Amino acid sequence: DAKTTQPPSMDCAEGRAANLPCNHSTISGNEYVYWYRQIHSQGPQYIIHGLKNNETNEMASLIITEDRKSSTLILPHATLRDTAVYYCIVRFMTTDSWGKLQFGAGTQVVVTP
């Protein structure tokens, strides 16, 4: 199963774009990259996911490199409410696995005024 590597923390100024990196160098061709975030005392919130192509929704953009070994989550205009732990997860399916989410330690993002 593919593992992910994220920086433990990063700061971002309010109103600026936040670029969150994730390394998943052992990812396989049928494995999706998912991003979630968890604001203190709340459940994880789904942000975005992708397979090969870049994706964008109302919350963020996901840029996946051509070799799929890394990705970047972009929050275009960070606000104080974006302060959270951000999780990058590679989701896979095998005969024994049904596509479970395996959460790591994530990146603690702090947005400052």
Cα-flanking dihedrals φ and ψ of residue 99, to 5°? 90, 35
Integer angstrom CA distances of residue 3 from 9, 63, 106: 18, 18, 12
The reply to whether 2 sits near another protein by the rule CB under 8 A is no
Write the DSSP symbol of residue 5.
Answer: B
105 scored as a contact of another protein (CB under 8 A): yes
Is residue 100 a contact residue for another protein (CB under 8 A)? yes
**Out of 8, 95, 98, 113, the residue judged to bind another protein by CB under 8 A:** 98
80 binds another protein (CB under 8 A): no
Q: Are 106 and 87 in contact (CB under 8 A)?
A: yes
Distance CA(53)–CA(50), nearest Å, equals 7
Residues in the chain: 113
Task: Give min distance, CB of 61 to another protein, in A.
Answer: 16
Question: Using CB under 8 A, which of 3, 7, 9, 51 touches another protein?
Answer: 51
Residues that bind another protein (CB under 8 A): 30-32, 34, 41-46, 49, 51, 91-93, 98-101, 103-105
